[in-house]
Structure 1
Amino acid sequence: MTARRVLAALIALVLLLTGLAKLLDMPGFAAVVATYRVVPPALLAPAAWAVVLGELGLAAWLASGRALRRAALLSAALHTLYLGWAAVALLRGLPIANCGCFGVFWARPLSPVTLLEDAAMIALSLLLARLAVRS
């Protein structure tokens, strides 16, 4: 198995786990999204579903190995969005007891570590995009 396939599988697995964890309690995850104070109340449920379906769809795309460079770049973009969203919440001083990364079942407070995790996912996704071009 090539490094490219291993990396794609790793990123897909992370997205699959985070998506499934959120899917297990969608109302709870929508409540977590509300704590960021970005999404209007009427759009909380659709936003939560968009996040979950996006993560699961991207996991499936990465696992398929098709158009891997585009999937990797989309993963980098998604995690850049997450990093920005978390950074803004931290800068605003919002007390977020659960970052929502793994839904409501593995609640971890939003912290600078969350930003590092997102940065790591961006780096891995960009590495995958680079590897996908070479093959």
Structure 2
Amino acid sequence: MIGPLTASKKLELGLRYFIASVLLLTGIGKLLDVPGFIQVIDTYKIIPTFLQPAVAVSMVLVELKIAENLFRKINLKINALAATALHICFTLLATLTLLRGIDVPNCGCFGVFWARPLTFITVAEDVFMVGVCVLLLKILQIKEGQV
């Protein structure tokens, strides 16, 4: 029988590794073709052209840093919160873009690789990631209260 603390630790580890793996894969996908990712950003029609390179590089660095910190167990609450905020931003951006009627042939989740159109399925995936991140954050808050 698994005790509640052991189960909680395993769930925390699983969530941490899942979120970190997703961010690592998405960050690497974008990093492998930054110019292509800049073109993807342009299709959202929200970031001025002169800012797109900085936004692209910043997004890659943020995703990779959060992934690294989650894998290495560094500042877990801060990084779980950062991952939550990042996925909330992705959810809002995707939703607003769809509501504006803008056709985005590649959502850009993985840069130019694994190109998929932006749809409400993308929004659902982002909402799922927000939920996973919030769950990790809650587990970490509960754990902090027990220490």
Structures share fold, TM-score greater than 0.5: yes
Give me the whole-angstrom Cα distance separating, in 2, the residues matched to 1:54 and 1:66.
Answer: 14
Give the stretch that moved more between structures: 63-72 or 105-114.
63-72
Deviation at 1:62, TM superposition (A): 1.0
TM-score (norm 2): 0.89
Corresponding residue number in structure 2 for 1:60: 68
Decide whether the 8 Å contact of 1:99 with 1:109 is kept in 2.
yes
**Pairing 1:119–2:127 present:** yes
Q: Does 1:47 align with 2:58?
A: no
Do the aligned partners of 1:5 and 1:65 also contact (CA within 8 Å) in 2? no
TM-score, structure 1 length as denominator?
A: 0.97
- The one-character-per-residue Cα deviations of 1:24-75 (angstroms, maximum 9, x if unpaired) are 1000000000000111111111110011111001101111212212211111
Mapped to 2, the partners of 1:54 and 1:67 lie a distance apart of 14
Greater C-alpha radius of gyration: 2
Structure 1 unaligned residues grouped into runs of 5+ = none
Counting matched residue pairs gives 135
CA RMSD for the aligned pairs?
A: 0.9
Runs of 4 or more consecutive aligned structure 1 residues displaced over 4 Å after TM superposition: none
What is the aligned-residue identity percentage?
43
Letter in 1 for 2:74: R
Asked if residue 3 in structure 1 is aligned to residue 11 in structure 2, the reply is yes
